[in-house]
Structure 1
Amino acid sequence: PVVAYNNPIDTKVDLVPELLAKLHAEGFVQGVKEFSGDVRRAYRIAELAPELDLLIGADDVLLELAVAGAKGWVAGYPNALPAASVELYHAAVSGDLDTAGRLYRQLHPLLRWDSRVEFVQAIKLSMDIVGRPGGPVRPPRVPLLPEQEAAVRAATEKAVAAGLA
């Protein structure tokens, strides 16, 4: 099965729900990794192509897309915080909004890095901090700026202190 990747921010190509529905109806795609950040699309996609699997494509809209019926998560930050991320995902898709909301609020300062250009650097730094070696980035990526590194470090250390690592 083919999963389309809708990332209009980086690709400048927007796979709108109507196009995804057409591609699904023709048998070209079975799912979509939705990275537009517009959670309203989940409902439009479900209306136009109810059998098209919606996958959460950006960590910082996980809760909203899970509640909207997403079937999975193509994730970044679980590389650094796997147990807390899995718990968050399961709570969100099962409707345990008390648990999901608490975890989402705690993790969101890190999850939002997934929608930034420096997401790889941020995730690798968090991995290093929690003892899951991520290592340096390779060109063309460059290290985080000092203020970015400080923000990621502080948010990761806060998550560790909260028992999320």
Structure 2
Amino acid sequence: MSIQWKGVMPAVTTKFTDNDELDFDMFEVNIKAQLMAGVHGIVLGGTLGEASTLLDEEKRELTKFTVDLVKETVPVLINIAEQSTKAAIAAAQKAEDDGAKGLMMLPPMRYKSGDRETVEYFKTVANSTSLPIMVYNNPVDYKVEVTLKMFDELLKCDNIEAVKESTRDISNVTRIINRFGDRLKIMTGVDTLALESLLMGADGWIAGLVCAFPKETVAIYELQKAGRIQEALEIYRWFLPLLELDINPKLVQNIKLAEVATGIGSENVRAPRLILHGEERKHVLAVIAKSMRTRPTLPDYKNL
């Protein structure tokens, strides 16, 4: 299966049992809800997936389980966030062996690589695998920006196909299109700029709150694609207080609380993360409760 870089691809959370083991039963509940809603791909092991806390064998178990569960109805991607080029190459090979259909790649972790080092890192990994790659460009959180000039060089690798655009600069969508046309697909990666990015020409949405609200997320994408902008906008305006839970240091805990509210997740996180408490918890629960009370009735977005 080649990847069509379009539509909604949830960056799914990793589910844990009370004993801090992978909770495949609850994970399956959530993935089936995503598929039923009509998502276009599944992204494993991102920030929302608590990748930095997962053991290597756990990442492989998640990949194999998800590949078997979706049965090629949608592509399964896994995130690569490593500290060395050697480790990133090994992770790419394991992903390919385990049945993943693509990679989402961050720049090197911890060390703030320079432009030349960042380009060499991505190109070396790309040349080591046949899997298509989406470069995750998030200078706000990861302090390394992949500039258009750097993409000029990166796109010499045929399997670097897409960017997860998370610069927070909405005009960057237009810059990418003007410079690269259809050669570099754009997947918006910031929930609170998603509809704006799609309307400016982004091909799809790597989403966070979709983990708890898959139907609403896919409905926004399908409605705007069909030109029914006002309907998409109405859902998006309802959604925004929830989407803002994603642009927060506690996004994992926030979104897992929302998954509990919609019945497709649990609150368990892996230490050093702790579940929310006190005023912080009250605030998030209040946002979720209000959104649940005013949850919109969706049109038949699957048959537009």
The TM-score with structure 2 as length reference comes to 0.51
1:4 aligns with 2:4: no
AA of the residue aligned to 1:157 = A
Cα RMSD between the aligned structures? 1.8
Q: For 1:88 and 1:157, how far apart are their aligned partners in 2?
A: 21
- 2:197 aligns with one of 65, 68, 71: 65
Question: What is residue 23 of structure 1 aligned with on the other side?
Answer: 154
Q: Check whether the contact 1:35–1:57 (CA below 8 A) recurs between aligned residues.
A: yes
Question: What is residue 221 of structure 2 aligned with on the other side?
Answer: 89
Cα deviations by residue, 1:111-161 (Å, 9 ceiling, x for unpaired): 122222111111000011121223211122232342332222122222211
Q: Which is further off, 9-18 or 121-130?
A: 9-18
Identify unmatched segments of 5+ residues in structure 1: none
Question: What is residue 143 of structure 1 aligned with on the other side?
Answer: 275
Higher helix share: 1
For residues 1-165 of structure 1, the aligned pairs below 5 Å read 1-27=132-158, 29-50=160-181, 51-164=183-296
SS at the partner of 2:264? coil
- Offset, 1:18: 2.7
AA of the residue aligned to 1:57 = G
SS at the partner of 1:143? coil
SS at the partner of 1:55? strand
- Offset, 1:164: 4.4
Q: For 1:45 and 1:33, how far apart are their aligned partners in 2?
A: 12
AA of the residue aligned to 2:287 = A
Q: For 1:158 and 1:75, how far apart are their aligned partners in 2?
A: 21
Q: 1:17 to 1:95 in 2, by over 3 A?
A: farther
- Offset, 1:102: 0.8
SS at the partner of 1:4? strand
Structure ranking higher on relative contact order (CA contacts 8 Å, 6+ apart): 2
- Offset, 1:26: 4.2
Q: Check whether the contact 2:253–2:267 (CA below 8 A) recurs between aligned residues.
A: no
Q: For 2:170 and 2:156, how far apart are their aligned partners in 1?
A: 22
Instruction: Answer with 1 or 2: which has the greater Rg.
Output: 2
Q: Check whether the contact 1:21–1:45 (CA below 8 A) recurs between aligned residues.
A: no
Q: Check whether the contact 2:188–2:206 (CA below 8 A) recurs between aligned residues.
A: yes
SS at the partner of 1:103? helix
AA of the residue aligned to 1:62 = A
SS at the partner of 1:3? strand
Identify unmatched segments of 5+ residues in structure 2: 1-131, 298-304
Percent of aligned positions that are identical: 32
SS at the partner of 1:74? strand
Q: For 2:250 and 2:163, how far apart are their aligned partners in 1?
A: 23
The TM-score with structure 1 as length reference comes to 0.91
